[in-house]
Chain A
Amino acid sequence: MLPGRTVHRLAARLCSERSLEHIVEPAIADLQKEYSDARARPRAIRARVLIIGYFAVLEGVAMTLLSAPGEGERRALSRTFICTLLTTTVVSVLLIALTIAATPVFAPFYIALLTPMTLPIALPIGLTLGIAFGLGRGELSHSTRTIVLLSATVVTAISFASMAWVKPVANQSFRQSVFEAIGGRGIVVKGLHEMSLSELQREMRMAPRGDAAESPARAKWMYHLTFALPVAPLLLAALALLLIGRGAQRAIVMALCIAYYAVAFAMEALVYQGLPPLAGAWLPDILFAAVAIVVAFSNSSRLRGSLSPA
Chain B
Amino acid sequence: MEIPKLSRTERVILELLSVEEMFGLQLVEQSKGALKRGTVYVTLGRMQDKGYVESWTEKQPAGAIGLPRRLYRPTGYGLRVLAAWEAAARALSGPPKLRHA
Contact = CB atoms under 8 A, between A and B. Distances in A.
Interface string B27-62: 000000000011101101100100000010000000
Contact of A60 (B42, B55, B67, B69): B42
B25 A30 contact: yes
Instruction: Give the interface centre of B24, B42, B44 by most chain A CB atoms within 10 Å.
Output: B42
A33 B44 CA distance: 19
Contacts of A19: 45
Contact of A64 (B23, B24, B42, B70): B42
A11 to B, nearest CB: 12
Given A26-B24, A27-B24, A33 B42 contact: no
B37 A52 contact: yes
B92 interface: no
Contacts of A33: 25, 66, 69
A22 interface: yes
Task: Say which size band chain A's interface belongs to.
Answer: 20 to 34
Task: Say which size band chain B's interface belongs to.
Answer: 10 to 19
B65 interface: yes
A89 interface: no
A29 B68 contact: yes
A32 interface: yes
Contact of B38 (A4, A8, A28, A55): A55
Interface string A1-21: 010100010000000001100
A30 B24 CA distance: 8
B37 A56 contact: yes
Contacts of B55: 22
A280 B41 CA distance: 49
Nearest to B46: A67
B59 to A, nearest CB: 13
20 contacts: A2-B66, A4-B67, A19-B45, A22-B48, A23-B41, A23-B45, A25-B70, A26-B24, A26-B44, A29-B66, A29-B70, A30-B37, A33-B25, A33-B69, A34-B25, A56-B38, A59-B37, A63-B39, A64-B42, A67-B42
